Structure 1
Amino acid sequence: MNTAALTKPKTNEEPYLKFQLNSQIAALFAMRHVQEVLILPARRLTPMPNMPPCMLGLANRRSRVVWVIDLAQLLGLATVNTHLQPYNLQYKLMMMQVGTAPFALAVQHVKGITWVQPDDLQSPIGRVPASFVPYLRGCVLQRQQQHQEVVLVLDAEAIVQSPIFHQTDSSL
């Protein structure tokens, strides 16, 4: 059993959901934006025409229709689940809400909850590709066996405000 999730946090630590964008990059979202995590078979996803490639389509969850976004592809990384055949394709989704905007983010793997002290947040400049920076609150260093792992702290509000979701160009 993973006892890290059961330990009591220090008084000023905040909860974050840790996940993998790809096999090399771990990231966090503040738990205040995460509603639930689930696995969605691809057949339950409705693709929409004329949308950016990172927009996987629409899904119905608890009588709400939400956009499903490939987070890795939005950040300029390889798309999730490219190695699977369509008949067994499943998406690992983080159901999110920012303000009144519900949406789902498809990621490679969800690891669980971790606690971060606000003072541990560092500047990501020089540690990550420049294309990531508009979507980051910062990064933290976490001990991973024998080395320090740089973990990105993503900004859910910045993702919702991404220009890619607000394009009106009909040539998409």
Structure 2
Amino acid sequence: MVGNPDFLTGQGADASEFQELETPEGELHLRFFVASGAELALPATGIKEVLSQALDRITPIPNVSPLLLGTLNLRGRVIWVADLGQFLGDTMQLNTDRTEIPVIAIEDQDTILGLAVEAINNSTAMDWLPTDEMRMPVQVPDSMAQYIKGEWVLDESEERVLRLLDQIAILRSARWAL
């Protein structure tokens, strides 16, 4: 195929038919839900991996912060797994009565943390979100405010918003020392 002269020059039967590629607007984000049903997003650049983890693969550790579910082995590296909703002050607990839990591994420099969430948004898990439409957060609980970069209005009539989290602020939080 590479030896075919038409391949190198772009000439041939399909040369007149070019496929138009759309350039996405904004930045790529992962959308997900915490136990209360609030939808949140993280920038794709700060995510190391997204996995569905069996609950029996997360090892509980005694005498640690109640925000931490335990540890798991991620490709030979032991990382902490936290209930993101509880960390953000959510009053509802993560549903652990199921076979697998979605875990988002976030990373900054050499630090990795697993964030257990209720669900990944199946219809728009990875979404290009327009940064110019993001606004400053409104009516954010105090426990969550320092971890929110901004928000997008999804439905004004229902007051639904998508909040963008700051993964670096989450990783460096003093709450982990509780």
Q: Choose which of 72, 76, 94 in structure 2 pairs with 1:80.
A: 94
Q: CA deviation at 1:35?
A: 2.0
2:59 paired residue number: 46
2:4 paired residue number: none
Question: Are 2:39 and 1:29 aligned?
Answer: no
TM-score by length of 2: 0.78
CA contact (8 A) 1:125 1:133 kept: no
Q: Which has the larger radius of gyration?
A: 2
Q: Choose which of 93, 98, 117 in structure 2 pairs with 1:107.
A: 117
3-state SS, counterpart of residue 146 of structure 2? helix
- The Cα offsets for residues 63-99 of structure 1, whole Å up to 9 and x where unpaired, read as 11111010001011122115x2xxx442211121112
Question: Are 2:164 and 1:153 aligned?
Answer: yes
Instruction: Work out the CA distance in 2 between the residues paired with 1:125 and 1:150.
Output: 9
Question: Are 2:157 and 1:142 aligned?
Answer: no
Instruction: Work out the CA distance in 1 between the residues paired with 2:134 and 2:145.
Output: 14
List alignment gaps of at least 5 residues for structure 1: 1-5
- The Cα offsets for residues 4-51 of structure 1, whole Å up to 9 and x where unpaired, read as xx96412xx100000011353100000001122111111111111211
Instruction: Work out the CA distance in 2 between the residues paired with 1:23 and 1:131.
Output: 15
Structure 1 segments of 4+ aligned residues over 3 angstroms from their partners: none
Instruction: Work out the CA distance in 2 between the residues paired with 1:133 and 1:116.
Output: 21
Structure 1 pair 75/18, CA: closer, same or farther in 2 (3 Å)?
same
RMSD (Å) for aligned C-alpha atoms: 2.1
Q: Choose which of 129, 152, 163 in structure 1 pairs with 2:174.
A: 163
List alignment gaps of at least 5 residues for structure 2: 1-20
3-state SS, counterpart of residue 72 of structure 1? helix
- Report the AA paired with residue 138 of structure 1: G
CA contact (8 A) 1:34 1:95 kept: yes
- The Cα offsets for residues 111-132 of structure 1, whole Å up to 9 and x where unpaired, read as 1011122222211132x21211
